[in-house]
Amino acid sequence: MIDNPFRQHLPKFVQPLIAFYKFLGLSPNQISILSLFISFYCLWLIISDQLILALIVWWAGRLLDGTDGIYARQTHQASAFGAYLDIVCDMASYSLVVIGLSVTFPEFQMQWMLMVFFYVLCIASALSLGALEAEHGNTKDNRGLRLGAGLAEGGETGIAYSVFFVFPQYLSITTWVWVAILFTTVVSRTILAHSILKR
């Protein structure tokens, strides 16, 4: 929901980081993979019960993830495989955090399992809806893979994780709220897909 407005303004603020990528000679795909490695480190920090440090590391990884596409477009390195790799690394990163939290807070196992279940449906619905929208000419998306909008996207996921890390004492409530948001996202995308196909 907040990803598209954020994506429009982000390039103005990350040019020093883009210049640093160029200086290091990194490729956009290497940045995507590096963001995934950072998520593995975040997983280790969560399991080690270092939640605030895990939060900082998580957002560092998200910064890389948010700038790999910008870097690719600005340096004319955008590719279909890069778009594929980006979304795979994204979903792996989201899932790694849930795995770490399930180890650290096993009493909420049902919620963690439901999150992973709905992540599968969320990405399937996002890609399917995005393909339908592109087919019907209803898109202004400049990403390699069109993703249908929804209530729960990357920005909302980052906010949810931040709440989990900073306020673990409220996980009994916040985890169910996030599961409900994921469920609503899948339902709303399904209704929109039905509407597009009906037309």
What pLDDT score was predicted for residue 1?
A: 60
**pTM of the shown model:** 0.87
Query: Considering its fold, how many domains does the chain have in total?
Result: 1
Question: What is the domain-level CATH number for residue 190?
Answer: 1.20.120.1760
Residue 20 is part of which domain span? 3-198
DSSP the chain: --HHHHHHHHHHH-HHHHHHHHHHT--HHHHHHHHHHHHHHHHHHHHTT-HHHHHHHHHHHHHHHHHHHHHHHHTT---HHHHHHHHHHHHHHHHHHHHHHHHH-GGGHHHHHHHHHHHHHHHHHHHHHHHHHHHTT-----SSS-----SS-HHHHHHHHHHHHH-GGGHHHHHHHHHHHHHHHHHHHHHHHHHHHH-
- pLDDT of 149 reads 66
Which pLDDT score is estimated for 98? 97
Q: Would you state the pLDDT for residue 84? A: 92
Can you tell me the distance from the alpha carbon of 62 to that of 112, in angstroms, rounded to the nearest whole number?
Answer: 21
CA distance 70 to 76: 10
Q: What is the full per-residue pLDDT of the chain (199 aa) written as tens digits?
A: 666 666 677 888 889 999 999 999 999 999 999 999 999 999 999 999 999 999 999 999 999 999 999 999 999 999 999 999 999 999 999 999 999 999 999 999 999 999 999 999 999 988 888 888 777 766 555 555 667 666 778 889 999 999 999 999 999 999 999 999 999 999 998 988 888 877 6
Residue 99 to residue 93: CA distance in whole angstroms: 10
CA 79 to chain centre: 19
